């Protein structure tokens, strides 16, 4: 049996609302905003769980701990509601929007385990002595193909291992200064652009 759960999260407490496939409101509860309490609450819901929570300051870590526990998890940007803030009303609204397919804006959350492939071209400027105190500025083109695997240890922070093949597009006379080759690196990066990396969960 499917269960549609709306989660309204705040720094101190989270409000959960559980709805059946017909829209019947089954139960609701308020739990502390900590991993143990939330996991205990989610595991206590029978059936296939479809969970919806709002995008916000808590959404990234909530997604990471709850995603393995549910059949579906959606982070949504809800439309502005009229009236004052009501946590339980908002939780019921998220559950019903997910049940009826009325979520207009979904937020992508990157998986923890990542594999990636990147092809890149860069232009590098360098200064070459010409003799007699003269110097010349030249450009060198670098093409590299990089494949790697990473583990997201925090939002925006990834520990990755990568193997890279470099190819310098320079005249033969400069090959000794710009050798082609392979490199293997372990890196801790504080940015992981989804525009240049293709990400998929293991």
* 2-100 is a CATH 3.30.420.40 domain: yes
Selected residue with higher pLDDT from 197 and 80: 80
Selected residue with higher pLDDT from 53 and 141: 53
113-189: which CATH architecture? Single Sheet (2.20)
Q: Inform me whether the pLDDT recorded for 134 exceeds 70.
A: no
Q: CATH 3.30.420.40 spans which residues of the chain?
A: 2-100
**Nearest in space to 61 (alpha carbons), one of 85, 31, 38:** 38
Q: Which residue is listed with tokens 């080759």?
A: 181
Rounded CA separation 102/84 (Å): 22
Rounded CA separation 28/19 (Å): 9
Mean of the per-residue pLDDT values for the chain? 80
**Nearest in space to 184 (alpha carbons), one of 147, 152, 150:** 147
**Nearest in space to 34 (alpha carbons), one of 54, 17, 14:** 14
Q: CATH 2.20.200 spans which residues of the chain?
A: 113-189
Asked whether 68 and 22 are in contact (CB, 8 A), the reply is: no
The per-residue pLDDT for 72 is 94
**Nearest in space to 95 (alpha carbons), one of 135, 145, 54:** 54
Asked whether 7 and 30 are in contact (CB, 8 A), the reply is: no
What would the pLDDT profile of 54-72 be if each residue is shown by its tens digit? 998 889 889 888 988 999 9
Task: Grade residue 154 by pLDDT with cuts at 50, 70 and 90.
Answer: low
Instruction: Tell me the mean pLDDT in the region 154-161.
Output: 69
Residue burial 71-83, b: 16+ Cβ < 10 Å; e: rest:
eebbbbeeeeeee
């Amino acid at each position: 049996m499917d269960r549609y759960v709306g989660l309204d999260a705040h720094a101190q407490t989270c409000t959960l609302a559980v709805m059946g496939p017909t829209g019947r409101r089954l139960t609701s509860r308020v739990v502390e905003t900590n991993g143990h309490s939330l996991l205990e609450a989610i595991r206590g819901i029978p059936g296939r769980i479809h969970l919806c929570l709002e995008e916000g300051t808590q959404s990234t870590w909530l997604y990471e701990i709850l995603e393995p526990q549910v059949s579906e998890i959606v982070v949504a940007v809800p439309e502005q509601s009229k009236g004052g803030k009501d946590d339980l009303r908002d939780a019921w609204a998220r559950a019903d929007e997910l049940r009826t397919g009325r979520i207009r804006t979904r937020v992508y959350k990157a998986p923890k385990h990542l594999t990636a492939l990147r092809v890149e071209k860069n232009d590098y400027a360098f200064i070459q002595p010409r003799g007699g105190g003269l110097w010349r500025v030249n450009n060198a083109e670098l093409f590299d193909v990089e494949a790697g695997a990473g583990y997201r240890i925090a939002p925006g922070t990834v520990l990755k291992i990568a193997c890279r093949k470099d190819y310098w597009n320079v005249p033969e006379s400069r090959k000794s200064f710009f050798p082609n080759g392979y490199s293997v690196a372990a890196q801790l990066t504080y940015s992981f652009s989804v525009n240049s990396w293709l990400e998929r969960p293991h």
